[in-house]
Every structure is written in structure tokens, then in C-alpha cells.
Amino acid sequence: MKKMTKIGLVLAGFGLAFVGACLAAFLDDLATTQFQAQSGGMVAGGEMILFIGVFAFLSVFSIGLALFFLRSDEKFWNLFSLFAIGLALTGPLAEGYMMAVRILCFNTHSLWVFFSFFALLRIFGTAVLGFGFVLFAFITQFKQPRGRLLVAAAIEMILFLYIAVHLLIWHNFA
């Protein structure tokens, strides 16, 4: 199969995912017209979350197809595994930032809130990233990138266990 055909298939999959997400949001809009007058912002927020969720779910197939096409490209897997380790290292950095904010009691009406929001998003993404890194390690057929992806998954798992102890056992949500 030609390279442009593969790219076209992957892009068509993302296009279908976009159309499916638009259709889901449209059907939700039709079903919630009676509530839009009293709580339009809440309905719009729900539609946005629905759109993002449906698009993310339907995009999994296109991403899987792209990775299937790239499974024999060693340069891609080397670069991707290095990126995965870099991304995994942002997790402990984000958790350290959240601890510093809590200990130093930064003003909550400042720019620090903006950074705290993204740090919190990064911290709560550890389970998804860890699972994804393990999955990618099984997809690649090269030994060195597989090892790097498993190291990234281990970093995510350690961070996830720390968060589980920190939040669930000590009940410290601050």
C-alpha cells in the first residue's frame, strides 16, 4: 500500500470520528432543547464533554491504524519512546509543583492557579498514560524503544501509586 493511501486512511478515520462526534452532539442538542432556556451553559458544557469523549473514543481506531502502519519504522519508535520518557517525567514534576503550592500556600488569585490546573490534569492522566505506554511497548517490534516505553510506564505506575496513597489513604485532597 502506498504511503499517501495510508495517510489518507488515517485522516479519513479522524474525519469519521469528527463526524460521529458532531452527530452525537447534535442528537444530544435535540434531546435537551427543553433545558436550554433555563440552564444553557450547563447544557453546552455537557455537549462539549460529550463531543470530546465521542471524538476521543472514535479516534482510537485511527490511532491504532496509524500505529499499525508505523510498527516497522524504527526511527519513529525511537523518537516516540524518548518523547514518552520525557512526558512521563513531567508527572513527578507536576506532583512536586502541587506539593510546593500546598506547602508554600501560594495566593489562589494569581497565575499559580493556571499552572496548578494543568499540573492537576497531568497528575490525573497517569493511569491513561501508563496504560498507553504499556500498550505501545507491545506494539513495537524493536527492543530498545520497548524498554524505554516500559520505563515510561514504570514512572507512571510509581506516580499513580504515590497519588493513590496520597489522596485515597491519607485523604489529603489539598
How far is residue 59's CA from residue 12's CA, in Å, rounded to a whole number?
10
The reply to whether 40 and 102 lie within a common domain is: no
- The pLDDT-based confidence of 120 (bands split at 50, 70, 90) is confident
The reply to whether 88 and 44 lie within a common domain is: no
Q: Encode pLDDT of 42-74 as tens digits.
A: 888 888 999 999 999 999 899 889 988 988 899
Of the three residues 70, 94, 124, the one that is the final residue of a domain is 70
**Per-residue pLDDT at 34:** 76
The reply to whether 54 and 89 lie within a common domain is: no
What is the domain range of residue 170? Answer: 74-174
Between the alpha carbon of residue 5 and those of residues 10, 17, 37, 73, 119, the distances in Å are: 9, 18, 47, 17, 39
Q: Encode pLDDT of 124-156 as tens digits.
A: 889 889 998 998 999 899 999 999 999 999 999
Collapsed DSSP state (helix, strand, coil) of residue 107: coil
User: Structurally, how many domains does the chain consist of?
Assistant: 2
The reply to whether 167 and 116 lie within a common domain is: yes
- The pLDDT-based confidence of 109 (bands split at 50, 70, 90) is low
Of the three residues 70, 92, 111, the one that is the final residue of a domain is 70
The reply to whether 91 and 7 lie within a common domain is: no
Mean residue pLDDT across the chain: 87
The reply to whether 62 and 82 lie within a common domain is: no
The reply to whether 93 and 171 lie within a common domain is: yes
**Per-residue pLDDT at 172:** 54
Q: What would the DSSP string read from start to end of 122-143?
A: HHHTHHHHHHHHHHHHHH---H
